[in-house]
């Protein structure tokens, strides 16, 4: 799963989570409202049962104590007590317009509904009497309804179905809109990824996000133009320098070999030749690393004898006139064994040549260089190590992280491990291999390269 897919998956999941949270909060609020409404509407401020306990029969007469009267006064209510025949045997503040006797039908009616306009509450006492407390019109709401159970089941099922249908509809609309956003945003996000990796980019400038696509196309065009300008400038400078540099090398070599010149002049000519050769190599490295960076140098994969290529790279360094202060040792991990891989023979030799010359350049007092090649776990290995001054641990960490560096040492130092090692890392990357840098025991630098032996798909 790439970054674009992860982005939209997180977007969908977060959207669904928000919807579920929305419904959960609303359901919780509904329950809170129902419970709060039930509590607020409960008979907590006035209990007919408690009130009825304060109305008693004394000396053959029904009387209410002060507590009962106070309760009625607080609610601006009235009360009456009915016997088994429906006659009023006690009353307090009973409105004049209300009858003083009721049939069983009338009692059943106002117990469920209203007594004329008055909402009432009733309580059946233990002695069979019926206590009725009435309130002023508009103070209470009474509503009674009944449903048959089959219809109730259909009603509840319908409510659940409507809820589920609405939930599915919301999720469908969210996913549909997300898909539309994904369809519009995927090319943009993929284009940004390609742009960050230096790949070619062209987006269709149409639809709702046409302006963004056009902006990315302009940015890609600008970057491509800038990179091409830099690459062409480097190639032009390399070409312009190569001819006069060849003349300097030629004349310096002639002066170095001229026996008629004083020894000091021949020595200076040799210094000019060596520094010119170093400059030529730097220019070649700069030109090659630029081509690899901007894919201007095609990598020609073919069958390569890994051991033979490594031996040729070492021989070229030895035949170029190696100073006696340096010693190069070549070794095979599996002597006599032929090891093959798909690679660019010229680039691989250049990679090994750069590693060897890196050890030579940065150890001016001399060192011993070991080149070891072989195969391990189906991969071609090469180790180039020396017993020179090595590299600081912090610089090794920078190299192993693969950071884009121009140098692993300070700019004020003469010995810099920069362009040569960068080119090595580029060649290894082009062959889909790995490279690691470490300190050599007891001191020095060790570079370990691992390349796949399997056929590469370009």
* Residue with token string 């304060």: 54
Give yes or no: residues 394 and 438 share one domain.
Answer: yes
- Do the domain assignments include residue 197? no
pLDDT at residue 416 in the model: 46
pLDDT at residue 457 in the model: 45
Looking at per-residue pLDDT, the higher value among 304 and 202 belongs to 304
Which residues touch 24 (CB under 8 Å, ≥6 apart)? none
pLDDT digits (tens, 9 = 90+) for 164-183: 887 788 778 777 777 777 77
pLDDT at residue 193 in the model: 76
pLDDT digits (tens, 9 = 90+) for 383-423: 999 998 888 888 888 888 876 655 444 444 444 446 778 88
Give yes or no: residues 130 and 176 share one domain.
Answer: no
Residue 200: pLDDT band (50, 70, 90) is: low
Query: The whole model's pTM is what?
Result: 0.48
- Do the domain assignments include residue 181? yes
pLDDT, mean of residues 201-209: 70
Residue 196 pLDDT > 50: yes
Q: How far apart are alpha carbons 1 and 90 in whole angstroms?
A: 84
- Do the domain assignments include residue 150? yes
Give yes or no: residues 442 and 350 share one domain.
Answer: yes
Say how far residue 390 (Cα) sits from the centre of its chain. 39
Give 332's DSSP letter: E
pLDDT digits (tens, 9 = 90+) for 71-124: 999 888 999 999 998 999 999 999 999 999 999 888 888 888 889 889 999 999
pLDDT, mean of residues 339-353: 88
Task: Give the residue numbers spanning the domain of 276.
Answer: 219-290
Looking at per-residue pLDDT, the higher value among 2 and 120 belongs to 120
Give yes or no: residues 336 and 361 share one domain.
Answer: yes
pLDDT at residue 295 in the model: 58
Q: How far apart are alpha carbons 38 and 40 in whole angstroms?
A: 5
- Do the domain assignments include residue 358? yes
Give yes or no: residues 355 and 427 share one domain.
Answer: yes
- Do the domain assignments include residue 404? yes
pLDDT at residue 46 in the model: 77
Give yes or no: residues 278 and 380 share one domain.
Answer: no
Per DSSP bridges, beta strands 326-332 and 61-64 are unpaired
Decide: 298 and 288 in contact? Cβ < 8 Å: no
Which residues touch 33 (CB under 8 Å, ≥6 apart)? none
Q: What is the mean pLDDT of the chain?
A: 80
């Amino acid at each position: 799963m790439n970054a674009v897919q992860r982005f939209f998956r997180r977007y969908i999941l977060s959207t669904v989570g928000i919807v579920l949270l929305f419904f959960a909060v609303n359901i919780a609020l509904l329950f809170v409202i129902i419970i709060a409404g039930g509590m607020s509407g409960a008979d907590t401020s006035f209990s007919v049962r408690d009130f009825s306990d304060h109305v008693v029969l004394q000396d053959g007469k029904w009387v209410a104590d002060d507590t009962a009267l106070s309760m009625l006064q607080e609610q601006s209510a009235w009360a009456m007590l009915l016997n088994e025949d429906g006659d009023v045997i006690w009353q307090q503040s009973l409105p004049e317009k209300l009858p003083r006797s009721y049939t069983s039908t009338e009692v059943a009616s106002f117990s469920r509904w209203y007594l004329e306009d008055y909402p009432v509450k009733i309580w059946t006492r233990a002695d069979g009497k019926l206590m009725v407390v009435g309130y002023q019109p508009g103070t209470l709401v009474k509503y009674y309804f009944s449903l048959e159970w089959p219809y109730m089941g259909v009603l509840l099922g319908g409510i659940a179905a409507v809820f589920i249908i609405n939930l599915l509809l919301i999720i469908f609309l969210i996913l549909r809109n997300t898909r539309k956003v994904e369809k519009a945003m995927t090319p943009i996000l993929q284009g940004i990824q390609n742009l960050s990796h230096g790949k070619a980019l062209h987006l269709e400038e149409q639809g709702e996000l046409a302006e963004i696509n056009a902006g990315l196309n302009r940015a890609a065009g600008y970057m491509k133009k800038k990179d091409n300008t830099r690459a062409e400038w480097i190639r032009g400078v390399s070409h312009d320098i190569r001819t006069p540099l060849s003349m300097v090398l030629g004349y310096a070599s002639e002066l170095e070999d001229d026996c008629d010149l004083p020894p000091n002049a021949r020595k200076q000519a040799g210094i000019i030749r060596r520094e010119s050769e170093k400059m030529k190599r730097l220019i070649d490295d700069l030109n090659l690393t630029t081509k690899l960076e901007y894919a201007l140098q095609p990598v020609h994969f073919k069958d390569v004898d890994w051991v033979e290529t490594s031996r040729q790279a070492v021989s070229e360094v030895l035949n170029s006139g190696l100073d006696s202060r340096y010693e190069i040792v070549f070794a095979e991990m599996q002597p006599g064994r032929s090891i093959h891989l798909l690679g660019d023979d010229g680039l691989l030799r250049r990679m090994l040549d750069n590693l060897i010359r890196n050890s030579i350049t940065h150890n001016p007092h001399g060192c011993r260089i070991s080149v070891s090649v072989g195969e391990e776990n189906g991969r071609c290995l090469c180790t180039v190590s020396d017993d020179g001054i090595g590299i600081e641990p912090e610089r090794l960490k920078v190299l192993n992280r693969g950071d884009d560096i121009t140098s692993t040492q300070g700019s004020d130092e003469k010995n810099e491990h920069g362009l040569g090692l960068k080119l090595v890392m580029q060649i290894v990357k082009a062959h889909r291999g790995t490279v690691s840098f470490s300190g050599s025991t007891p001191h020095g630098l060790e570079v370990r390269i691992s390349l796949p032996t399997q056929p590469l798909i370009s």
